């Protein structure tokens, strides 16, 4: 797929030299490299920007510094460490993957590509990143940033996503070097993130500007910036029962957003929380943005003098407010609880 006159080694050598002098070598996951650290960072970086990930990565590694320490974590504890980062399926997959590593891999982090790719949440690109960064083996990657660099570099305009990905994987395999794989992999991800940006790529300072088929010609990003994306709006009503010290939360089981997180009771499932016994009532309204959805939250706060038994089959708990960091919950819910 790559044009015959292109020399694959040139791209990787340019990327490697650029990474050594201008790459983001100080990012926290680029120190104390281990398969475990690379795995956690790569999962967090899926669909989330670097600056958002940094505090979550540091907190996760502080609480669970090693694979051994993660073996002891419950699913709730893993999701709690993810609270606020979004896309919670990633946290559930980390939990599932560590259970598989514990039982099927004798507690050893997998060392080959196929075993990694078979774990929940790890696709070909993430497995390639772990192989090349943690084990320094030559494997191609194709995350969103690398896709953008390589599609511009090779001027791939295929409209069908599956055909386009196939072509891009081919290019990625062809340009991935045997030597310097650690620097190349980090470098090409950085290049896509900070130079070859979706809008207005900075071709002037790009190390590929002499070999890239799209150098100084990218206009689609400018057009795309003018397209306003309208997100669907969803109204959700919650009832949050609380006392001086506790809040009543339910584990959400619907397979939609916020699946497995702890939330207040959602209308119309009132779980027989009786308003009449509450000592005060108040309603808070908030908007909250998810990636593909805008939520209009209405939270009815019911204050009680003491906790009470709730008749429901749904998993629920009166959680001490001082313990809420141990439970996964969406950022706006946590913020409201902390304000009570």
Shortest Cβ distance from residue 74 to ligand SF4 (Å)?
44
- 132 binds ligand SF4, rule: CB under 6 A: no
- Beta strand 262-263 with 246-251 is antiparallel
Tokens found for residue 330: 């969406």
- 201 binds ligand SF4, rule: CB under 6 A: yes
- 121 binds ligand SF4, rule: CB under 6 A: no
Tokens found for residue 137: 């083996």
Whole-angstrom distance, CA of residue 86 vs CA of residue 75: 15
- 188 binds ligand SF4, rule: CB under 6 A: no
Centre a 10 Å sphere on the Cβ of residue 220 and count the other Cβ atoms it contains: 13
CA angle 62, 339, 310 (to 5 degrees): 90
Centre a 10 Å sphere on the Cβ of residue 42 and count the other Cβ atoms it contains: 23
Shortest Cβ distance from residue 136 to ligand SF4 (Å)?
25
Shortest Cβ distance from residue 215 to ligand SF4 (Å)?
4
The correct pick among 203, 236, 263, 290 for binding ligand SF4 (CB under 6 A) is 203
The correct pick among 208, 241, 297, 319 for binding ligand SF4 (CB under 6 A) is 208
Q: Are 165 and 142 in contact (CB under 8 A)?
A: yes
Angstrom distances, CA of residue 141 to CA of 110, 120, 129, 218, 327? 18, 18, 6, 23, 34
- 206 binds ligand SF4, rule: CB under 6 A: yes
- 194 binds ligand SF4, rule: CB under 6 A: no
The correct pick among 44, 212, 248, 329 for binding ligand SF4 (CB under 6 A) is 212
302 SS3 class: strand
Active site residue 42: yes
For residues 216 and 267, which CB has a smaller minimum distance to ligand SF4 in the complex?
216
Site residues, ligand SF4 (CB under 6 A)? 149, 152-153, 195-196, 201-203, 206, 208-209, 212, 214-215, 218
- What amino acid positions are annotated as catalytic residues? 42
């Amino acid at each position: 797929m790559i044009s015959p006159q292109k020399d694959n080694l040139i791209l990787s050598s340019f990327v490697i030299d650029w990474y050594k002098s201008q790459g983001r070598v100080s990012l926290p996951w680029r120190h104390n490299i281990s398969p475990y650290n690379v795995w956690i960072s790569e999962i967090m970086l899926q669909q989330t920007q670097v600056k958002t990930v940094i505090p979550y990565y540091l907190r996760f590694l502080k609480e669970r510094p090693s694979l051994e320490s993660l073996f002891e974590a419950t699913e709730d504890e893993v999701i709690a460490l993810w609270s606020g980062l979004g896309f919670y399926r990633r946290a559930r997959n980390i939990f599932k993957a560590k259970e598989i590593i514990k039982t099927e891999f004798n507690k050893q982090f997998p060392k080959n590509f196929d075993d990694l790719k078979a774990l929940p949440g790890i696709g070909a690109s993430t497995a390639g990143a772990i192989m090349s960064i943690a084990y320094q083996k030559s494997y191609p990657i194709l995350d969103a940033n690398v896709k953008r660099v390589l599609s511009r570099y090779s001027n791939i305009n295929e409209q069908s996503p599956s055909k386009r990905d196939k072509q891009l994987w081919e290019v990625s395999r062809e340009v991935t070097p045997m030597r310097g794989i650690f620097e190349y992999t980090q470098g090409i991800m950085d290049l896509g993130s900070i130079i070859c940006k979706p809008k207005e790529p900075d071709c002037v300072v790009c190390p590929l500007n002499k070999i890239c088929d799209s150098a100084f010609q990218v206009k689609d990003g400018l057009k795309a910036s003018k397209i306003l994306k309208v997100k669907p709006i969803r109204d959700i009503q919650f009832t949050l029962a609380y006392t001086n010290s506790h809040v009543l939360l339910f584990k959400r089981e619907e397979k939609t957003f916020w699946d497995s997180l702890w939330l207040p009771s959602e209308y119309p499932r009132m779980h027989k929380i009786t308003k009449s016994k509450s000592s005060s009532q108040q309603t808070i309204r908030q908007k909250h943005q998810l990636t593909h959805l805008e939520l209009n939250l209405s939270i009815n706060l019911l204050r009680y003098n003491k906790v009470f038994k709730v008749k429901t089959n749904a998993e629920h708990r009166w959680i001490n407010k001082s313990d809420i960091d141990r439970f996964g919950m969406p950022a706006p819910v946590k913020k409201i609880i902390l304000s009570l």
